[in-house]
Chains A and B, each alone.
Chain A
């Protein structure tokens, strides 16, 4: 006997995670007879909130048939080619984490060891100067991949999407696709007294029945945490900050095509430009810095007059199981990340993509659940490792905040990765990585980790050839960057930046 098919999904939560989950599930599964009901809780977003995204989001948008220009017109968002990490004190050199490759193959071999070798011989050109993506960003350009750039390597981009507008855009899409929407101020889970599964949601009197429940309620974790009591594993030791302040500043005259992250003694400030404002984040530890101080420093470090400031807790950590009983948690309800690399939305996306691949056919889904939880644990931990490396390897001076970060023992997989990189400059391959080796190399070298040796096989390439290839790449980058439109111009032509100010 098979139990009845799972045809009735209820997504409860708010904002981007709610609407992304509802639209994706509906789009993918409507043909299989799955109906999706969204229970919308009051938004927690403020005008200054931004959703920074990774390049992979484009694929999910394509699945939803979201047109990029329409999205950027509607949200007044901007493109981002990566993140520049700088030190306010100027003591530690800045580095760029680009959404693209660094260098081009030489002699059919990876570029990085050649750079290492040359560096050992006195080369002073930074790794990021061999990244077309980073170079375009630093010159205020957009980078539109074409046949020429693809020969050179990967060039990708993410977005800075004003979160309120993006959530609104996704909500309209979900409604158009036939997601049934209920609004509620308060929601309680009704549990089956025998099995302990969730039977329904109680919306202050109105009952919404469902077979599978998706929890996108964020840190509140209304279903997975409060109703089902699934414990959380804290990652506090790896992440010194417990507060995030977000605020809105005026748009810059010329809109940078990247995010700027500035470390200071008691935290870091990030600037995420969009078309109409500059979204500012200040991340700090409450024991070392008061909220007022945080705001003042955010304003000083960004050089912007800030408004709409709001302070929230930051508590990185993972739910022991992202899927428990008949409830799947997506986003912060499943795993909370440090804000440093803007991976929140990506974690929602990874959760959704895995859920689609394992979406229950019947009510007997213990296998799917086990597989899903194992996959998500691995995905979340690899993301955590990348973020933890940023803190563990920092060279931002002797303040309590950054010292604490340096003193935390890295998770074993990360410790192995750093050790192997120090020894040879290779990034040990792991399953379920979000960030490719290029990202890891940018991060580790950016923090000043210099490998002791490089892959010896590149010594077969004659030094003259290596030198010529370096010059060729640098020349190519220079020419390509000049060919690219400025980010401002591109936004204008592509999605009516300025023109749209009237609408």
Chain B
């Protein structure tokens, strides 16, 4: 072997936008790529506010943080983080209904047959059964407001869940910014005033800033949020509008004082014109009303939101406008969009940060190499776009399920989404579940079979039949096995510590969040 890649040219990567997407991208690129080969610059402006509100995440975020080598205790302390075991849905499906979409499994696959078949069989046979939700460890822990790390022994019922976080997204972006700048990412404060394109290729060549400075680069990452400054406004990549399936187009966000107990889950409560989120952080609770301007007036939504806060409002509700959908491509020419610049799906299943994470990791794998790679390789872009599409389309179907499967009759929004034509891929999934408790099973993209199970059943779909392979388990044993399972869950959860106690031991933030020195630089 000869020498390593040494004094080759570098690839200049310019990230536009310093919100969660921009700094996650900067952090990952600087951690995973050779600094001698990739020069990473991020341009952001203090004049532009980030969307960042209280953010709820999925368990994958831990892999991302671990990959960066981030210390969990420190990260949670600095972002006012709390733990999250799932999402509680209230009044979805029908008024008064409650279920949790847990980050965990339901039951056990006895005889190699998925649990829901055994459960449906037991119910149809008239055996004594508890509701499906009672057979998930993570759900039970949510109800008990408890938290502990999952057990590593995979035979233990305490190993059957994963966890994510709630945190302040602005603090997370600041945290990653410090992390990235310390590792060589160049940060430029400034407002992009003009985007100069290469005459022949149409590729982005230079960004001219309001300050008069200009930044040139080889690859531009558009993390500019809804504006989609480079991919949308400059490269003119088309938009797929999904609002016919996901009609919500506004959100009002407001923080309020924290109340006890500190719940280890996000809450989503369905409303006449949409739904209200509730994200408990250490120092406050984030709230927001996601609504459709077609079905409810903004003032009405604001009143409802404020009336439902369980703590004192800390600010005036802030309005956000959006449209569900995605760009036809996430990568065009030498521009890659990550985060809101590439598409928007409402935060109903806390997918925003995961979409960023997935795109960032795909980008790290497919990023052009310096030298000969200065030429943008359309084959790499094609694969990146294919992966992006899988991510967006899978999540879309899962979100639409929450809406379409409802019995909230007489409310215009809910009548509309119940009756609207939905993607065929989703129709088939719902019908197969109702017919025979069959669950979608795919390897790429969100969500797992257990996730589908929680929402399908939670929205009120009840299977009429089950997989006949379940009949191999003697029915005499079934009731006993169900009872034993529930007893194991209940007794284990009863010994867990509360989330509040756990956090105070593990990662409590300062009572009053300090203005971090780095944040003011």
Contact B4 A463 (CB under 8 A): yes
- Is the C-beta of A301 less than 8 angstroms from some C-beta in chain B? no
Quick check: A460 and B32 within 8 Å, CB to CB?
yes
Given contacts A121-B1, A123-B1, A453-B373, contact A426 B383 (CB under 8 A): yes
Contact stretch, chosen from B251-259, B436-444, B497-505 = B436-444
Task: Please state if A459 and B365 are interface contacts (CB–CB under 8 Å).
Answer: no
Q: Are A419 and B379 in contact (CB under 8 A)?
A: yes
Task: Contact check, B383 vs A456: say whether CB atoms are below 8 A apart.
Answer: no
The answer, yes or no, to whether A398 is at the interface (CB within 8 Å) is: no
Interchain CB contact (< 8 A) of B469 among A28, A362, A456, A462:
A28
With known contacts A31-B471, A361-B465, A456-B37, A419–B382 Cβ distance under 8 A = yes
Closest A-chain residue to B445, C-beta based?
Answer: A431
Asked if A367 and B435 sit within 8 Å, CB to CB, the answer is yes
Q: Which residues of B contact A424 (CB under 8 A)?
A: 365-366, 379-380, 383
Contact A420 B379 (CB under 8 A): yes
Range, interface on chain B: 35 or more
Question: B436 to chain A: which residues have CB within 8 Å?
Answer: 358, 361, 368
Contact assessment for A460 and B33 in the assembled complex, using a CB-CB cutoff below 8 Å: yes
**B443-A431 in contact (CB<8A):** yes
A457 at the interface (CB under 8 A from B): yes
Of residues 459 to 486 in B, which have CB atoms within 8 Å of A's CB atoms?
465-469, 471-472
A118 contacts across to B, CB distance below 8 A: 1
**Candidates B369, B467, B471; contact of A456 at CB < 8 Å:** B369
Interchain CA distance A33-B471 in the complex, whole Å: 9
- Which residues does chain A contribute within 8 Å of B366, judged by CB atoms? 424, 426
Given A456-B33, A460-B32, A460-B34, residue A428 in contact with residue B383 (CB < 8 A): yes
- In this complex, what residue of A is CB-closest to B379? A423
State whether the Cβ of A359 lies closer than 8 Å to any Cβ in chain B: yes
Q: What does the 1/0 interface line of A444-469 toward B look like (CB < 8 Å)?
A: 00000000110111011011000100
Q: How far is the CB of B274 from chain A (nearest CB, A)?
A: 32
Is B380 in contact with A423, judged by CB distance below 8 angstroms? yes
B428 near A416 (CB under 8 angstroms)?
no
User: Using Cβ atoms and an 8 Å threshold, which residues of chain A touch B373?
Assistant: 453
Chain A, 103-140, contact with B by CB distance < 8 Å: what is the 0/1 string?
Answer: 00000000000000010011100000000000000000
Contacts of B5 in A (CB 8 A): 459
Contact A370 B379 (CB under 8 A): no
- Report A-chain residues with C-beta under 8 Å of the C-beta of B438: 357-358, 371
Chain B 373-387 interface mask (CB, 8 Å, partner A; 1/0): 100010110110011
Asked if A195 CB lies within 8 Å of chain B CBs, one says no
Give chain A residues whose Cβ lies under 8 Å from the Cβ of B34. 456-457, 459-460
Question: Given the known A-B contacts A358-B438, A423-B379, are A457 and B33 also in contact in the complex, defined by CB atoms under 8 Å?
Answer: yes
CB of A296 closer than 8 Å to a CB of B: no
Q: How far is the CB of A81 from chain B (nearest CB, A)?
A: 26
- Contact check, A29 vs B469: say whether CB atoms are below 8 A apart: yes
Please tell me if the beta carbons of A367 and B386 are within 8 angstroms of each other in the complex: no
The digit string for A208-243, where 1 denotes a CB below 8 A from any CB of B, is 000000000000000000000000000000000000
Chain A residues whose CB sits within 8 angstroms of the CB of B33 once the complex forms: 456-457, 459-460
In the assembled complex, B491 has its CB within 8 A of some CB on chain A = no
The residues of B that contact A28 with a CB separation of less than 8 Å are 469, 472
B48 within 8 A of A: no
Interface 1/0 per residue, B1-16 and A, CB below 8 Å: 1111100000000000
A467 lies within 8 A of B364 (CB): no
Residue B70 lies at the interface, judged by CB distance under 8 Å to chain A: no
Is B367 part of the contact surface with A, judged by Cβ < 8 Å? Answer: yes
Tell me the chain B residues, 398-428 only, with Cβ under 8 Å from chain A.
428
A427 to chain B, nearest CB (A): 10
Give A428 to B379 CA distance when docked, in angstroms.
Answer: 11
Distance A53 CA – B169 CA, assembled complex (angstroms) = 52
Given A118-B1, A467-B1, decide whether A456 and B367 contact each other with a Cβ distance below 8 A. yes
Asked if B432 is at the interface of the complex by the 8 Å CB criterion, the answer is: yes
In the assembled complex, the Cα of A453 lies from the Cα of B380 at a distance in Å of 11
B3 contacts across to A, CB distance below 8 A: 121, 463
Q: 4 closest pairs, A vs B, by CB? A: A32-B471, A423-B379, A32-B468, A459-B34
Q: Which residues of B contact A (CB under 8 A)?
A: 1-5, 32-34, 37-38, 364-369, 372-373, 377, 379-380, 382-383, 386-387, 428, 431-432, 435-436, 438, 442-444, 465-469, 471-472
Q: List 23 A-B contacts (CB under 8 A).
A: A29-B471, A32-B472, A33-B471, A34-B468, A358-B438, A361-B465, A367-B431, A370-B428, A371-B438, A416-B382, A420-B379, A422-B379, A423-B383, A424-B365, A426-B365, A426-B383, A431-B443, A452-B377, A453-B369, A456-B37, A457-B365, A459-B37, A460-B32
Given A32-B468, A423-B379, 8 extra CB contacts under 8 A: A32-B469, A359-B469, A416-B383, A420-B380, A424-B380, A428-B383, A428-B386, A457-B364
